[in-house]
Amino acid sequence: MSSSVKADVEKGRTEEGENGIDPPIKPNLAVDQQASAVDSRSSLQPTSSPTQRLKGQAIAVLIKDLKSELRNRAAINAILLFSVTALVIVAFSAGQAALVPLTKAALIWIILFFAAFSGLAHVFIHEEETGTSMALRLTTPAGAVYTGKLLFNLALMGAITALVVPLFMLMLEMRPANTLAFLAVFLAGAVDLGAAATIVAAIIAKARGKGALYGALGFPILLPLLFMLVDATSLTMQADASSMAIFRDIVGLVAFAVMLITASAMLFPVIWEE
């Protein structure tokens, strides 16, 4: 009985093949198991977090600004022109006169201040003048824009400091008594100036009379900072200066930077999206 059933089945398969009907396909268990394993592994892979996306967008803004600046070099040319001119004039005026540490500290920070503010404001004003600010608002969150612009200004401010300070030390025979504290003061000062220039530039980017407003807004923010920078720098050039006084000024500069960047990050979305 079983042999006759098998014969009928074989006969049916032969007739289906002759009539052009494909035989039923048997499921491939190995392939199904492999596909399910791939699906389960892909579901376990972590997706990018909001922090990672914000970081990537901020880096993209930074790269865009770097490429734009290297292409037109508007900020770099303005900063270099002012820095070199101011250094030559100061060195020529001082001549062979023996300047006290406080005077040297005031001169170097005046040069850095005006050199920074002559070029760092370009980072937001350029967006408004070229009409790219609207596209940036639509495609990039405000936090990423602020972070990218801040990093660009900090990089530019670091380059200014690295260029101006050694030339000033060479021309006016500026010798620090505490080298480590001297470097710490200029590092903190560069961060402070870059952060202040970023938020002030964002505020005045849409205003008319940008030059006058830039100075008017920047002066009250940076006046106490400049006092601390001059005092801290002069102390690092005095051999008999108190270590606690130098440490106090450096802590004050770092605290000023943290306060300014935090307040700017909270205020920037309101300024940018208005």
Q: What is the pLDDT of residues 201-241, one digit of tens each?
A: 888 776 654 555 665 666 777 888 899 999 999 999 988 88
What is the average pLDDT value for the chain, to the nearest integer? 77
- The residue among 188, 184, 189 whose CA lies nearest residue 106 is 189
Whether pTM > 0.85 for this model: the answer is no
For residue 266, give the DSSP letter.
H
AA identity, residue 166: P
Percent of the chain's residues with pLDDT above 70: 76
| Across 80-84, 169-173, 202-206, least confident range | 202-206
Cβ 269 vs Cβ 199: under 8 Å: no
| Mean pLDDT (whole number) for 188-199 | 91
Tokens of 53: 């996306």
The Cα–Cα gap between 98 and 84 comes to 22
What pLDDT, in 10s, does the model give residues 97-140? 778 888 889 999 988 888 877 777 777 777 777 777 788 888 88
| pLDDT score, position 232 | 93
d(CA 136, CA 142): 9
